[in-house]
């Protein structure tokens, strides 16, 4: 490959994987970053505008569709939207019955929200990788990464929200003493092994949000990279590879939403166990 092509290829990949970032730059003040270097110089408190925007948009779409289905619900012949929503309700209900052993009316709505919201965000990946970056570049926007779950900040935010609920219900159901006792006397029920138990249990507890976040992020990010690499091939190769990969990735999109949701339910179920 020629040197010019290498630069072009590198720029293409980096451009499509770069988020639209807003933050306080040391020299430019509050502004949008025009390069990856500027984005990194904005520091920790910079905001990925595209991730925030598209994730909120998918959340609003979820609310709109389910609210519309609720208003249009009928006991007669249901429409397509009502059928789809009822399938989601039944699917999540079966998931809860199999994975959650406690009694909490919040868990089913939470699981339903997680599953559909993540599914909607993941589904944005099916849109061709060049469509929105080219469209927004014509509007003067340098970067536009439309799949929120390919941003570790989004997946980690979701996972930390679930982790907060895990801690909340662990203290609420077991009490401070019960939760401390569980951490101290599991898996070895002997006072001499309390330091070892604490080390194991605290590490296992802290790993939960990171495992949730990284599993979803890594799978979606890897799929995005493959779509970008396919888009760089000759036209005939794009049609030969992109369509089969997109069809296969539909399974990944649904599967990752399901895995994140069911693991969240399992972790919350453990938080409700009195032992």
The model's pLDDT over 5-36, given as tens digits with 9 standing for 90+, comes to 444 778 888 888 999 999 999 888 999 998 88
Q: Which pLDDT belongs to residue 8?
A: 75
Q: Is the pLDDT reported for residue 247 higher than 60?
A: yes
pTM above 0.75, yes or no: yes
Beta strand 47-48 with 29-32 is unpaired
Mean pLDDT (whole number) for 185-197:
82
Dihedral angle, C-alpha 166, 170, 176, 181, nearest 10 °: -110
pLDDT at 79: 79
Residue 51 has pLDDT above 70, yes or no: yes
Cβ contacts of 96-104, under 8 Å, gap ≥ 24: 96/265, 99/262, 99/265, 99/266, 99/269, 100/265, 100/266, 100/268, 100/269, 100/272, 101/269, 101/272, 101/273, 102/173, 102/268, 102/269, 102/272, 102/273, 103/272, 104/169, 104/268, 104/272
Q: Identify the active-site residue in 19, 122, 219, 264.
A: 219
Burial of 74 (0-12, 13-18, 19+ CB in 10 A): exposed
| Three-state DSSP class for residue 48 | strand
How many CB atoms neighbour CB 111 within 10 A? 22
Instruction: Give the pLDDT score at 171.
Output: 92
The catalytic position among 170, 211, 264, 269 is 211
- pLDDT at position 56 is 97
d(CA 252, CA 220): 8
Q: What is the pLDDT of residues 123-142, one digit of tens each?
A: 998 888 889 988 998 988 98
With cut-offs at 50, 70 and 90, classify the pLDDT of residue 4: very low
Query: Residue 221: pLDDT above 50?
Result: yes
In the predicted model, is pLDDT for residue 57 greater than 60? yes
Closest CA to 48 of 154, 172, 130: 154
Q: Which residue is catalytic, options 40, 215, 264, 269? A: 215
pLDDT digits (tens, 9 = 90+) for 73-84: 777 777 788 889
pLDDT at position 245 is 84
| Partners of residue 24 on adjacent β-strands | 30
Residue 192 has pLDDT above 90, yes or no: no
Token pair of 113, please? Answer: 């929200």
Six-digit token string for 165: 């609920």
Q: Is 264 noted as a catalytic residue in this protein?
A: no
C-alpha span between 20 and 23 (Å, rounded): 10
219 carries an active-site annotation: yes
Q: What is the pLDDT of residue 275?
A: 61
Q: Can you give the pLDDT at residue 274?
A: 72
Q: How far apart are CA 111 and CA 264, in angstroms?
A: 8
Residue 123, burial from CB neighbour count under 10 angstroms (0-12, 13-18, 19+): middle
* Cβ pair 273, 101 in contact under 8 A: yes
Distance in angstroms (rounded) separating the CA atoms of residues 232 and 219: 21
Angle between helices 80-99 and 49-72 (to 10 degrees): 110
C-alpha span between 142 and 83 (Å, rounded): 40
Look over the chain and give the mean of its residue pLDDT values, rounded to a whole number. Answer: 89
Question: Is 211 among the catalytic positions?
Answer: yes
Report the C-alpha gap between 219 and 251 in whole angstroms. Answer: 12
Q: In degrees rounded to 5, what are phi and psi of residue 29?
A: 70, -155
């Amino acid at each position: 490959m020629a040197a010019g092509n290498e630069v072009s290829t590198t720029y293409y990949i980096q451009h499509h994987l770069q988020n639209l970032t807003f933050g306080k730059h040391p020299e430019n003040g509050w502004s949008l970053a025009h390069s990856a270097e500027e984005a990194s110089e904005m520091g920790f408190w910079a905001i990925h505008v595209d991730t925030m925007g598209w994730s909120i948009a998918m959340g609003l779409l979820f609310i709109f569709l389910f609210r519309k289905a609720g208003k249009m619900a009928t006991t007669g012949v249901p429409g397509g939207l009502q059928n789809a929503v009822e399938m989601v309700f039944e699917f999540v209900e079966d998931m809860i019955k199999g994975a959650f052993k406690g009694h909490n009316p919040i868990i089913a709505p939470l699981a339903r929200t997680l599953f559909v919201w993540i599914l909607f965000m993941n589904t944005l990946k099916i849109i061709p990788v060049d469509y929105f970056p080219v469209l927004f570049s014509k509007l003067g926007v340098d970067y536009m990464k439309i799949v929120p779950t390919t941003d570790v900040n989004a997946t980690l935010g979701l996972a930390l929200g679930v982790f907060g609920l895990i801690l909340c219900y662990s203290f609420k159901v077991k009490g401070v003493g019960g939760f401390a006792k569980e951490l101290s006397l599991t898996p070895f029920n002997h006072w001499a092994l309390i330091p070892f138990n604490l080390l194991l249990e605290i590490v296992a507890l802290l790993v939960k949000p990171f495992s949730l976040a990284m599993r979803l992020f890594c799978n979606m990010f890897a799929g995005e990279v493959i779509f970008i690499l396919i888009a760089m091939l000759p036209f005939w190769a794009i049609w030969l590879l992109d369509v089969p990969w997109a069809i296969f990735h539909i399974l990944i999109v649904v599967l990752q939403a399901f895995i994140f949701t069911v693991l969240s339910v399992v972790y919350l179920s453990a938080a409700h166990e009195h032992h």
